Amino acid sequence: MAALLKVRNLKTQFRTEGGLVKAVDGISYHVDEQEIIGLVGESGCGKSVSQLSTLQLIPNPPGEVVDGEVIFEGKDLLKFGANGEKMRSVRGGKISMIFQEPMTSLNPVLTVGEQLVEMLELHLKMPRQAAEKRAVELLEMVGIPDASARIDNYPHQFSGGMRQRIMIAMAISCNPKLVIADEPTTAVDVTTQAQLLELMKDMVRRFNVSLIIVTHNLGVVARYAQRIYVMYAGRIIESGTSKDIFIDSYHPYTVGLLKSVPRLDEQRGKKLVPISGLPPNLVNMPDICAFRPRCPYATQCPGEGYPELRQISDQHFVACHIDFQGKSREFYAK
């Protein structure tokens, strides 16, 4: 399948009082047409920043995309002026985003109808009346009961789950090619979370769009993503198919992540093992493997400098100095 989005060596930095924060430090990934991919990592590892960077939505100052390419439909989005006509027609029109906080991501003083209609008018050039009609249809589609009446309601009159449904309706409203869902289900309860994910999957199928699910919860992507990228401290440290990540996980961080989440296919009573230590502070990072301070194999690690991503099977890439394929994990764990 053809790649819809190809990100190469993306680097985003923030100038802060504490120093230079390399929030995203040279990541590369691609999304194929109609593909669902997962972007996983601990809080603060740069997931949101990377996604905002591709649409040039990083507030500058303090942030800046300092390097990289974001090739979408054959054009480098980073070459477009940040808030120019071309960039704006991509935002919401071809690539749309769903954000983490349903409570604060909708404008409290505008009706949900207005917030939908303005997008339809802008990108699809729909006349007002047609746009209003379409907005009702969209709300019905994402499961808002009594949509024709609720279109005139304000965000505070909906529950968190409902608001996230409205965000989903907005995201698909202008027939985009790609939807980026940044932790779309973090702020809602587990049942709602499952419903929202199913809804997103349905929408993706129905409208033939690609989806990036950004999350710190591996469980969320397990069911839906075809390929997964694992991020740590601003870089991608492992990527591959779902099977590569969940069954043949290679990087000690990925292995640790999997041990720290409950799994349905495991025996009850098995202990969850949190990864020891804390994620590194991204200010003034030394040029070594960022996971080294927390790595259980650190004393055996042969490498110096930052490990580059290397291919270990067809789609499976990993950034680790240790060759676990040559010798067993137990050997290094001593």
Contacts of 172 (CB under 8 A, 6+ apart): 96, 138, 179, 203, 207, 209
48 sits near Mg ion (criterion: CB under 5 A):
yes
Instruction: Kindly state the smallest distance separating residue 298's Cβ from ligand ATP, in Å.
Output: 23
Kindly identify the residues of this chain, within the stretch 38-97, that bind other proteins according to CB under 8 A. 52, 55, 57, 83, 88-93, 96-97
Nearer to Mg ion, 49 or 320 (CB): 49
Edge to edge, the sheet with strand 227-232 lists 95-98, 178-182, 210-215, 36-40, 227-232, 235-241, 317-318, 310-311
Q: Specify burial of residue 305 (Cβ count, 10 A radius: 0-12, 13-18, 19+).
A: exposed
Contacts of 323 (CB under 8 A, 6+ apart): none
Position of tokens 């009346």? 129
Picked from ligand ATP, other proteins, Mg ion, none, the partner binding residue 280 (CB below 5 to 8 A depending on kind) is: none
Instruction: Kindly state the smallest distance separating residue 18's Cβ from ligand ATP, in Å.
Output: 9
142 sits near other proteins (criterion: CB under 8 A):
no
Contacts of 97 (CB under 8 A, 6+ apart): 51, 55, 171, 179, 180, 181, 182
Q: Which of 14, 72, 80, 99 binds other proteins (CB under 8 A)?
A: 99
47 sits near ligand ATP (criterion: CB under 6 A):
yes
Taking the C-alpha atoms of residue 5 and residue 32, their distance in angstroms, rounded to an integer, is 7
104 sits near ligand ATP (criterion: CB under 6 A):
no
Taking the C-alpha atoms of residue 100 and residue 160, their distance in angstroms, rounded to an integer, is 11
Q: Which of 107, 175, 260, 313 binds other proteins (CB under 8 A)?
A: 107
Instruction: Kindly state the smallest distance separating residue 58's Cβ from ligand ATP, in Å.
Output: 8
Angle of helix 128-141 relative to helix 160-172, nearest 10 degrees, comes to: 130
Contact map string, positions 50 to 89, toward Mg ion, x by CB under 5 A: ----------------------------------------
43 sits near ligand ATP (criterion: CB under 6 A):
yes
Residue with the CB atom nearest Mg ion in the bound state: 48
What would the two tokens of residue 306 be? 């930052």
DSSP 101-117: -TTTSS-TTS-HHHHHH
Q: How many CB atoms lie within 10 A of CB 250?
A: 24
Query: Segment near other proteins (CB under 8 A), from 23-31, 110-118, 139-147, 276-284?
Result: 110-118
18 sits near ligand ATP (criterion: CB under 6 A):
no
* Contact status, residue 230 vs residue 258, Cβ threshold 8 Å: no
Interface residues with other proteins (CB under 8 A) are 52, 55, 57, 83, 88-93, 96-97, 99, 101, 104-111, 118-119, 122-123, 154, 156-157, 167, 170
Interface residues with ligand ATP (CB under 6 A) are 14, 16, 21, 23, 41, 43-49, 59, 62-63, 183, 216, 282
